Amino acid sequence: MTLIAESGYEFWNPIIWLITFAVVMVIVYFFRKRGVEKYKKGEDQTKIFLCGEEVPGAEQRQVRGGNVYWGFFETLKEYYDGIVRLHTGIVNDYVVWFVAVMAISAIILLIVKLVG
């Protein structure tokens, strides 16, 4: 009974990985325990703003899903403009893509037959 998924010239054994992970976690915990224990709940050090600024409510603090990776989408704006334009939501277009894939595949196979 093997625990190894062999993939030709490498192998993957999750049990070894888990043991290694556990050892690393123990080492991390060891260093963490050696830290200074000054943290106290309910004091100024646990406040979000030390200056006394009022903390906004949860609704205002939450970063919305649509705002995540804003920079990524700005950088790839041209790609996204193009790719989103193709996703029309119109079922006729879906069938057109199907016909296009069939036609391109047929042309490729035809060329291969003629050349071969």
Partner 1 sequence: MATLIEHSSILIIAVPLLIAFLTPLIGMASKKARNAVVIVGLSFVAFLVFALARDVILNGIHTYTLGATSPSLTIPEGAMMPIRIILEVDGVSVFMGIVVAIVSLVAVVYSLSSMKGETGQNRFYTLLLLMVAGAFGMVFTGDLFNLFVFLEITSISGAALVAFKTRFADSQEGGFKYIVVSAVASLMVLFAISLLYAQYNLLNIGALAAAMQYTMLDRIALVILIAAFAMKLGGVPMHMWLSDTYSVAPVSITVLLITVSQASMYALMRIGFILYGVTLDLAVVGWIIIAIGILSMFIGVTMAVRQTDITRLIAYNCVCESGFMLVGFGVGLAVLGNHTALRTYGTTAISGAIFHMINHALFEGLLFLVAGAIFYRIGTRDLNRMGGLGHTMKFTAAFFLLGALASSGLPPFNGFASKILIYESVYQFNPVLTIIGILVSIITLAVFVKAFFSAFTGAVLPKYEDIKEVPKTMIAAMTIFAVIIIIFGLFPGLIVDWIVRPATDALVDQASYINTIMGAIP
Q: Where along the sequence are the contacts to partner 1 (CB under 8 A)?
A: 1-10, 12-15, 17-18, 21, 57-59, 61-66, 68-69, 72-73, 76, 79-80, 83-84, 86-89, 91, 93-95, 97-98, 100-102, 105-106, 108-110, 112-113, 116
Q: What is the smallest separation between the CB atom of 34 and partner 1, expressed in angstroms?
A: 29
Q: What is the smallest separation between the CB atom of 105 and partner 1, expressed in angstroms?
A: 4
**Cβ-Cβ contacts under 8 Å for 101 (sequence gap 6 or more):** none
Taking residue 11's Cβ as centre, other Cβ atoms within 10 Å add up to: 12
CA atoms of 97 and 32, how far apart (whole Å): 57
